[in-house]
Chain A
Amino acid sequence: MPVIAALFCGLIFGFGLLVSGMMQPTKVLGFLDIFGAWDPSLAVVMMAALAVCVPGFALAKRRERPILAMQSTWPTRTDIDGSLIIGATMFGVGWGLVGLCPGPALENLATLSPPVIAFVAAMAAGMLLHHIGQKRRTSFRDRGKLATAADG
């Protein structure tokens, strides 16, 4: 059941991006181009989404558990660290270069556009690079731990 619900939610999300026009990178770039022929549509998309999400999430938080699962997985971190700042900057630069963020990029795979396929492949490679880097860091840390344990 949760899988069918997720499929259904993915469909609604996809129709939302489609109707809003945000699948088209030039439309997104029109919003980001505040010094040119500015198109505020993306701000309206975000505001409308927030108008639904703010009360909707408040309702979800009041429930003891979700309808089809044992527990909710709300993000728990509250610290603003270097990773958040550097990561958001890198994402913003990439987003501004092409006008695609992950949602519209994935949805545009349906058009079989070769440049979009290349973009999504590069995006997956970027995620893989981050994953490898993180694994290296943790294994290095664990090695440190083992050494200290042995020292003790």
Chain B
Amino acid sequence: MANFSPFSAAIGGALIGLSAVLLMLLTGRLAGISGILAGCLGFEMGDKSWRIAFMAGLVLAPLISGAFGHTVPMPEMPANWSTIVAAGLLVGFGTRLGSGCTSGHGICGIARISARSITATAIFMTAAIAIVALTRHVFAG
């Protein structure tokens, strides 16, 4: 249980939930990030403006935090560029084929008690846990 941070996790999670609820209450849209990005890129029907605005807010948050003296740490990424590109391709293609990611299925879908989202979340969690087990414990180099 190293690095467990339940308080910040709970506050952060509640904010994510609040964002999804407000987006639905105010605009009638679902806060699924992969769908919002696909819409910005023109791969989804309908209005682009709210999607671009949501993404702008998402990217602005760490910049605002930085302006107030809370600089966001650099993300620690794998050294291997081919791993990064392969993972990005899989996440992009997979979230479109499976119609959602951690936000759309994992949070919004489970909150709606959608069998599709519960199934998708169980599958992507299991796959991710299996890959981490393989890379860290079986083929650890």
Q: Do A and B bind each other?
A: yes
Question: Helix, strand, loop or mixed for chain A's interface?
Answer: helix
Instruction: Tell me how far the C-beta of A43 lies from the nearest C-beta in chain B, rounded to whole angstroms.
Output: 8
Classify chain A's interface size.
35 or more
Contact B59 A97 (CB under 8 A): no
Residue A50 at the chain B interface, CB threshold 8 Å: yes
Q: Which of A48, A67, A68, A70 has the most CB of B within 10 A?
A: A48
- 21 CB contacts below 8 A, A to B, read A6-B49, A9-B57, A10-B54, A11-B60, A12-B57, A15-B12, A26-B76, A35-B133, A39-B5, A41-B8, A48-B17, A75-B109, A84-B98, A90-B97, A95-B128, A95-B131, A100-B75, A106-B55, A107-B58, A122-B85, A126-B96
Instruction: Tell me how far the C-beta of A129 lies from the nearest C-beta in chain B, rounded to whole angstroms.
Output: 6
Q: Hey, which bits of chain A sit against chain B, CB under 8 A?
A: 2-27, 29-30, 32-42, 44-54, 56-57, 59-60, 63, 65-75, 77-80, 83-98, 100-111, 113, 115-116, 118-131
Contact A67 B26 (CB under 8 A): yes
> Which residue of the partner chain B has the closest CB to A25?
B75
Contact B53 A74 (CB under 8 A): no
Contacts of B61 in A (CB 8 A): 10-11, 13-15, 17-18, 107, 110
